[in-house]
Structure 1
């Protein structure tokens, strides 16, 4: 693996080899998931990695794979107990697949719901986080890739089916890669089509995350800025969608509390900067000012409803 990472670093100009290594593993997993009938028919790709691989290209690294459960009508008319039972079965299917994938690729994951090293379940089975561990060939320490699934969600835009990008998408080195690393080339050069969120859905969900998550993550604002720039998002027009998306999560006490505690702080890129692969671009400061006012407006409206 280390020779492959050195090769990819030389071709892409990416200096952070440990993140490059993690990206290769994420791409391998995404390729496997795209061919698995259970995942293909039931999960929709979203979040930062989706943004990079399906819409904006490699402007930064992302370190996990995020999905939502597609068939929300399965839970309609069901009691909370019935929903928990249904979700428990689905979680077992997901974790069993990840264990098989991990064994095949010499990674460390066990489908043991009680072992928090590998699996964390929240919200009465509504949220699943899985950690697949590996020994980094670059750092020679244990690292993990994270898979998160929201089983109960509200969707505001139709899904897209998009061909994903890899870190080599815009670099024509397929023949050389196939010759030097035949065991990896097929996966790295593959561009699987996946069902994914509309980019506007990613925007509304990221705004919700800023409002309801503890702590500010600079990358959320960078993502929001780049989406806004690409799609020419009008904050006034999309306000209702953000409110609807956020209200849906207000049924959970932790999100209500996080919203009540919400306050914007100044941030610096800090640790986030190591994830960036290209400059953010002009207009970020102005965007932050407008987004700050937008978030305060949303927070005040939602807080008044939560009283």
Structure 2
């Protein structure tokens, strides 16, 4: 484990809340220990934490661990795996992942499909006493992957990075991430999550997403969740614009270093342009 002094120096350089950097450190350590185990081959890393930890070291901070189940593992086996990893990671990193019991629960995702969820309690470099913090671990059990899984290193901007340099994590392809972000923005989430807007806009800027490839990938993504494939309802999305803006101000901006400029309207425009292009490529025409 790195020292509190190092962690605070990193937070100062990045203009970030030290507790957010504390969490970021842990979000590198735990997956490193997890994917040293053969059983973890049934999991594929995804979401905003995957973008930061597997692709872009300068990306926004994240707070959860998200995976898609690509192999066979039931709730009890997953709970046993996470408990074993928590014990190993406690020994390996001198972080306390056993401060509270870990339990995996069966829950319904945004589409009413069964998935697994757990809360991983820990004490990081900044919190050795008091109430522990928690990381939510989500494992999607019903998903179809359209693009190849990528083996990625863990990006870990701390002095002990060499201790996890050997790890390669099965991770979502960036187009896979974009397709699921688009599905979420299509109106299926109960709540407006501005991270979806930010992440898609970032992928547009960094990767120049191919609208035709996305249009081809989206129908199976719809079908696996019990949705009827069809062009994106951009009018419905526009109705929720203020909801996304409110969430942007409340929940997205705090995940960014103070030096990062993130204008909601600019990012919204980039996403709308991408979705309009996807609709143009959709078989049968756009709405």
Tell me what 1:275 maps to. Answer: 255
Q: Which residue of 2 aligns with 1:84?
A: none
Q: What is the Cα deviation at residue 98 of structure 1?
A: 1.7
Separation of aligned partners in 2, 1:31 and 1:103: 13
- Aligned partner of 1:155 in structure 2 is 145
Question: Offset of 1:191 from its aligned partner?
Answer: 5.8
CA distance in 1, matches of 2:203, 2:101: 36
**Shift of the alpha carbon at 1:291?**
2.6
**Equivalent residue of 1:249, what SS?**
coil
- Structure-1 residue corresponding to 2:80: 96
214, 222, 229: which one aligns with 2:205: 229
The CA distance in 1 between the partners of 2:274 and 2:204, in whole Å, is 13
Residue 53 of structure 1, CA deviation = 1.4
Structure 2 vs 1, CA of residues 6 and 269 (structure 1 numbering), >3 Å: closer, same or farther?
A: farther
Report how many aligned residue pairs link the two structures: 255
Contact 2:122 2:132 in 1 (8 A): yes
Displacement of 1:298 = 8.3
| Secondary structure, counterpart of 2:156 in structure 1 | coil
Q: In 2 relative to 1, CA 189–197 (structure 1 residues): closer, same or farther, beyond 3 Å?
A: closer
Structure 2 residue ranges without an equivalent (≥5): 91-95, 229-235, 283-287
Contact 2:34 2:85 in 1 (8 A): no
The gaps in structure 1 that reach 5 residues or longer are 75-86, 114-118, 169-173, 175-184, 253-260, 303-307
**Regions of 4+ moved over 6 Å:** 296-299
Question: Is the counterpart of residue 288 in structure 1 residue 276 in structure 2?
Answer: no
Kindly tell me: are residues 227 and 218 of structure 1, through their superposed partners in 2, closer, same or farther at Cα, counting changes over 3 Å? same
2:175 and 2:37 mapped to 1: Cα distance?
A: 27
Residue 122 of structure 1 pairs with residue 121 of structure 2: no
In structure 2, what is the Cα distance between the partners aligned to 1:287 and 1:60?
14
**Aligned position for 2:231:** none
CA contact under 8 A between 1:24 and 1:188: conserved in structure 2?
no
TM-score normalized with structure 1 length: 0.70
CA shift at 1:248, angstroms? 2.1
Q: 1:280/1:233 Cα in 2 relative to 1: closer, same or farther (>3 Å)?
A: farther
Cα distance in structure 2, aligned partners of 1:5 and 1:242: 44
State the secondary structure of the residue aligned to 1:233. coil
> Aligned-pair RMSD on alpha carbons?
3.4
Distance 1:286 1:17 in 2: 28
Q: Which structure has the larger Rg over C-alpha atoms? A: 1
Alpha-carbon offset, residue 6 of structure 1:
2.9
> CA shift at 1:59, angstroms?
2.2
> Which of 134, 144, 160 matches 2:134?
144
SS of match in other structure, 1:161: strand
1:65 aligns with 2:65: yes
Alignment of 1:1-307 (within 5 A): 4-11=3-10, 13-14=13-14, 15-39=16-40, 41-71=41-71, 90-103=74-87, 105=90, 106-107=96-97, 108-110=99-101, 112=103, 119-122=105-108, 126-135=114-123, 138=126, 140-168=130-158, 174=159, 185=160, 190=165, 192-211=167-186, 212-235=188-211, 237-250=213-226, 263-266=239-242, 267=245, 268-277=248-257, 278-280=259-261, 285-292=265-272
Shift of 1:244: 3.0
For 1:63 and 1:191, the matched residues in 2 are separated by: 24
